[in-house]
Structure 1
């Protein structure tokens, strides 16, 4: 499988006109000449091993600024459910207010695009022996807004919610029976003895998260890039390592969406839902668009 992965990389390079060239003779160059040479490969390949899986990560040395909309996204649809189900999915948004400081710390004119920024996109394979155990797609650094009307999620949301005393607490994903889970969750909220998703006590449907700021909390209200935004597919549980090291995200069998967000919701926003950013040029207020 690893040899196949390398084969695909070489094929891609040849198709792009970046074919490797073998030289019969190599001439040494001085340190001075070496210091004058600058360049960067179009693709980098990293091999990792955590003892359970062997990983091959193929990264492109390119940056992307985008705004994407999708009417309906369904992933992992099996057994009368879906690992991820959402409508009106969008990356990036359109400014409504030229006085507002946006997620990247800049101000944008009304109707100007506030892009979702992804640096160094990658595809990573996880293998056991010669068999593929899973793969994922992501960015080594990402920052921007993720908007949707979610009804089912297998994954993580790095969200904080202020409790009744104003203390930030990590949000928990729940199913409709108020059982904590990151498999096909339908609700989110604060874990506690009184939490009840059927009555809305310390719990709300995922559809309340109409727009999320993808990134890490920085100084003040600043949002920094995150290296943990990815979508993965597994035939067994896989521990995905952050591209920059440090974090390990446990993804179970199926489809897994990791949504690291810098947001902290106060009790009022938690009760009413996060307003949706404007994601189309036909602006209908804080509803779908």
Structure 2
């Protein structure tokens, strides 16, 4: 973990204060005029808010962090749970109606940050040489505790700013994972199972914008290579293993000259024969951040992971808007935090390099 100069400066300043100076020196009061010439901010600040008859205590850490880290297996919230989201702590696993996945969050080969595979500008807009670490950048992390009648009911680790590559083979995800899909009509010509007229429309409409939003959904029936794309597509925020355009959500093309914007509704992971749902496991390196026109990314606010004993609203004190986290372990990727092209949505995102030694597990 690499801490930036702000933290280092604070540590040095504290060390200098402790170790330097005459032990007999006396403190002197500064005049108001002298105080005006100095500004500062606490390294740790504590905020307390009350929302919906609950107390929220946030410990803010004034830090900028650049990190590259790997973990073989991250499994959080491992207990039996019904498909409707209810926990069953007395279940032995043989009961009907249980979630197939054993944990709320299950991320294999989890990583934050990458290693540059060639010389060039990376996702943060900085130039790196091949072999250099391209960090995951975190600004102003915080720990927040939720209490009800002075009893702790939740804790979350969040970031006021986050940008970088999150890598994982996602087997189970509980939380929010909204993905903006933005491209041009020309890209529809590469859609799988497309009817012939999609090719014609893509050629005629060319650079006309197409947009939609994918979320965690139920997958189609079947097995790999033989899915029934007339099933699935229902919102599924608990232990999801698929992502796609939910039933009835719009797939927009436009504006088109003299016509305007046309909205098509998806149905059961299908849009005119084109699959609109995909396994989470094919997206193995995801750029977190606000995508720019040059394909670099700016930090976004709202990334957090939390644990709560009941469904709980976590508030943003700056906007008073809340994210509802379900009981158990929860991961929130903020709206606008991930944007994909159509080809990336259809085909997935390959794993980027996160190790210096090739262990033959696809991380080199």
CA distance in 1, matches of 2:330, 2:76: 9
Report the more deviating stretch, 242-251 or 134-143.
242-251
CA distance in 2, matches of 1:258, 1:67: 20
1:44 aligned partner: 45
CA distance in 2, matches of 1:246, 1:223: 26
2:353 aligned partner: 278
1:123 aligned partner: 143
Q: Is the counterpart of residue 143 in structure 1 residue 181 in structure 2?
A: no
Alpha-carbon spacing, 1:149–1:187, altered in 2? closer, same or farther (3 Å): same
1:213 aligned partner: 287
Q: Is the counterpart of residue 182 in structure 1 residue 218 in structure 2?
A: no
CA distance in 2, matches of 1:218, 1:273: 20
Give the alignment partner of residue 268 of structure 1, picking from 340, 343, 358: 343
Count of residue pairs brought into register by the alignment: 265
The DSSP-based 3-state class of the residue aligned with 1:56 is strand
User: Offset of 1:28 from its aligned partner?
Assistant: 6.7
User: Offset of 1:37 from its aligned partner?
Assistant: 3.0
Give the alignment partner of residue 256 of structure 1, picking from 307, 330, 342: 330
Q: Deviations over 1:2-49 (max 9, x none)?
A: xxxxxxxxxxxxxx999xxxxxxx987433111133332121001112
Give the alignment partner of residue 168 of structure 1, picking from 185, 200, 211: 211
Q: Deviations over 1:206-230 (max 9, x none)?
A: 1111011112234653421112111
| Contact persistence 2:174–2:238 (CA under 8 A) | yes
Alpha-carbon spacing, 1:37–1:269, altered in 2? closer, same or farther (3 Å): closer
| Contact persistence 1:173–1:188 (CA under 8 A) | yes
4+ long deviations beyond 6 Å? none
User: Offset of 1:202 from its aligned partner?
Assistant: 1.1
CA distance in 1, matches of 2:318, 2:161: 9
CA distance in 2, matches of 1:212, 1:239: 26
User: Offset of 1:133 from its aligned partner?
Assistant: 1.5
CA distance in 1, matches of 2:133, 2:52: 44
Q: Deviations over 1:234-288 (max 9, x none)?
A: 1111111236436421111111011236443233222221121111113589944
After TM superposition, the score normalised by the length of structure 2 is 0.66
Q: Deviations over 1:72-92 (max 9, x none)?
A: 010101115210011100000
Unaligned runs of 5+ in 1: 1-15, 19-25
